[in-house]
Amino acid sequence: MAQIELNRLSKSFKKNHVINDLSLSAEEGEIVCIFGPSGVGKTVLLRLIAGVEEPDRGDICLNGRDVTEAAPETRGVGIAFQNFALFPHMSAYDNIGSALTARERDKNVIRIKVERVAKLLKISHVLQQAPRELSNGQKQRTALARALVADPKILLLDDPLRNVDAKLRYEMRLELPSLLKASGSTVLYVTQDYKEAMALGDRIAVLIDGGFAQIAAPSEIYRRPATLEVARLFGDPTINLIPGRPDGGSFAIAGVAVPLGPTYASETGRACVLGLRPESLKLSSQAKPGAFPVEIIAVTPLNEKVVLLAHTPDGREIFIAEAGVEDERRAPGPAFAHFDPAEALLFDEASGQRIEPAL
Binding residues for another protein, rule: CB under 8 A, are 47, 50-52, 71-73, 75-79, 81-89, 98-99, 101-103, 130-134, 136, 139, 146, 150, 163
The CA distance from 248 to 350, in Å, is 20
- Strand positions, DSSP E, the chain: 2-13, 16-27, 31-35, 57-62, 65-66, 77-80, 154-158, 186-191, 203-208, 211-216, 240-244, 250-253, 256-259, 272-276, 281-284, 292-302, 305-311, 317-323, 333-339, 345-348
Cβ 23 to another protein, closest distance in Å? 23
Q: Is 88 helix (H, G, I), strand (E, B) or coil?
A: coil
Contact 203, 33 (CB under 8 A): yes
Q: In what order do the strands lie in the sheet with 305-311?
A: 281-284, 333-339, 292-302, 305-311, 317-323
| Minimum gap (Å) between residue 44 Cβ and another protein | 13
Closest contact distance (angstroms) between CB of 212 and another protein is 24
Nearest distance, CB of residue 55 and another protein, angstroms: 16
Shortest Cβ 278–another protein spacing (Å): 34
Q: Shortest gap between Cβ of 144 and another protein (angstroms)?
A: 12
Give 23's contacts (C-beta < 8 A, 6+ positions apart): 6, 7, 8, 9, 212
Q: Which residue number, 102 or 323, has a Cβ lying nearer to another protein?
A: 102
Q: Which lies closer to another protein via its Cβ, residue 72 or residue 249?
A: 72
Nearer to another protein, 95 or 250 (CB): 95
CA-based end-to-end distance of the chain: 34
Closer by beta carbon to another protein, 167 or else 329: 167
